[in-house]
Amino acid sequence: MKDYIKLLVVLCLFGSVFSSCSEEHYNFPGDSGKIFLREQSSNTVHSIANVINSSISKTILGVSGEAVAAFPIRSTMPVNGSLTATCEIDNSLIESFNAVHGTEYVSMSADKLIFENQSATIENGQMVSVDQIVVKVDPEKVLDLDFGDYLVPIRLVSVSGDMAVSSNWNVVYLHVSVVSDATGVPCADRTGWSVADASSVIDPYYEGNNGAAENVLDGDYSTYWQTEWTPVEVEPPHYITIDMGKVNNLAGVQYVSRNHSLDWPKTMYVEVSTDGTSWEKIAEYEDLPQGANVEFRALFDELVEARYFRLTITEMYGGRVYTALAEVNAFIMNN
């Protein structure tokens, strides 16, 4: 009798972990026959079940990333004879999802989506389908999407055989973020690059043989260019100019902050030149990332022809008047 009670306790605990707030508790063998969907996109405690997160980046360098939802059909008990379940897109569920979770996701039109597999089959005696439901954003339609967050509700709508579709675990949501940033974009090969000039450089005596402008091209995050702070403090703006050795199609810039101190850049603008004499301001940035050896990446609105680019830092965090950078690079597309 004690063993039976223990078994009931275990089953109840298991069921409570995977059930929703409704009275339909079924996600363990032996409960009433239901076909359901259950996915956890993250192992973190606060992640939302049945939401698959994805990101697509649209930049001047092209499109990267993909948005795909792939998941099996599940049964609460071994099925008697094989059965097939089918899913469809149901955008009517987005409004209620936003209300519950405080989000503002928008719908994605059906012509932007591809069902690579709309049905899945659970074989006789099994509880999980071998094949999966597969929905993806059409790669050829990504450029038509506006930037923002989309939600694609994929609802379980029918099942063959004598089992029923769950009333509370019947939807998987594909969350698609369409963004424009340089995450994951490879930096340029800096072979042949050099520092053309810098606004000021600290005397190595004060920085332990560090501080030279050329350090931003050495690939070492522990070395850095440091503007002069003693015997006098050189006021901003501070700039460093990079010569790439030839004219390139410049797509953006990257830098890594110094490995310590508080003189990290806060505001900055970027200029480009083909000859090192005539300059054009391309972009301005505020509220740059703080921290030691923190990376900043940014892409321009369009490609620009340039042999030289100059980073001009106009304000620093910590109230400092001097600044430093560990590395400087760029994004190039010459194909």
Same domain, 198 and 242: yes
Cβ neighbors of 27 (< 8 A, separation 6 or more) are: 14, 15, 18, 19, 36, 38, 76, 169
Nearest to 229 by CA among 263, 179, 189: 263
Residue 18 has pLDDT above 50, yes or no: no
Query: Which of 196 and 81 is assigned the larger pLDDT?
Result: 196
Domain that holds residue 328: 194-332
Same domain, 53 and 173: yes
Tens digits of residue pLDDT in 135-156: 999 999 998 999 999 999 999 9
Same domain, 215 and 116: no
Residue 49 has pLDDT above 90, yes or no: no
Residue 231 has pLDDT above 50, yes or no: yes
* 18 DSSP 8-state letter: H
Same domain, 282 and 233: yes
Same domain, 128 and 232: no
Mean pLDDT for 80-102 is: 95
Q: What is the CATH number of the domain that holds 83?
A: 2.60.40.1740
Domain end marker among 127, 154, 179: 179
Same domain, 294 and 255: yes
Mean pLDDT for 328-335 is: 91
Same domain, 161 and 208: no
> Is 242 among the domain residues?
yes
> Is 188 among the domain residues?
no
- As given in the structure block, the two tokens for residue 48 are 């939302």
Same domain, 106 and 228: no
The answer to whether the CB of 67 falls within 8 A of the CB of 174 is yes
pTM of the model: 0.65
Same domain, 260 and 202: yes
Estimate to the nearest angstrom the gap between the alpha carbon of 76 and the chain centroid: 35
Cβ neighbors of 327 (< 8 A, separation 6 or more) are: 216, 217, 218, 219, 221, 254, 255, 256
- As given in the structure block, the two tokens for residue 29 are 């063998």
Mean pLDDT for 71-100 is: 95
Give alpha helix (H) positions in 92-249.
Answer: 94-101
Tens digits of residue pLDDT in 312-321: 999 999 889 9
Overall domain count for the chain: 2
Same domain, 163 and 202: no
Same domain, 212 and 258: yes
What's the mean per-residue pLDDT of the chain? 88
Q: What is the CATH number of the domain that holds 245?
A: 2.60.120.260
Kindly give the pairing relationship between strand 171-179 and strand 51-59. Answer: parallel
- In whole angstroms, what is the distance from residue 298 CA to residue 269 CA? 11
> Is 211 among the domain residues?
yes
Which region among 57-61, 70-74, 135-139, 199-203 has the lowest average model confidence (pLDDT)?
A: 57-61
- In whole angstroms, what is the distance from residue 67 CA to residue 84 CA? 25
The structure tokens 């009798």 sit at: 1
Domain end marker among 179, 214, 232: 179
> Is 19 among the domain residues?
no
User: So what's the pLDDT on residue 47?
Assistant: 63
Preceding amide of 186 cis, omega within 30: no
Which region among 38-42, 114-118, 162-166 has the lowest average model confidence (pLDDT)?
A: 38-42
Tens digits of residue pLDDT in 174-228: 999 999 888 778 899 999 999 999 999 998 888 887 899 999 999 999 999 999 9
Residue 30 has pLDDT above 50, yes or no: no
Binned at pLDDT 50, 70 and 90, residue 28 comes out as very low
Highest mean predicted confidence (pLDDT) among 25-29, 37-41, 75-79, 273-277: 273-277
C-alpha distances out from residue 328 to 239, 258, 269, 271, 295, Å: 12, 11, 14, 14, 10
Output Rg (C-alpha) for the chain, integer angstroms: 28
Mean pLDDT for 111-118 is: 96
For the chain, the residue count is 335
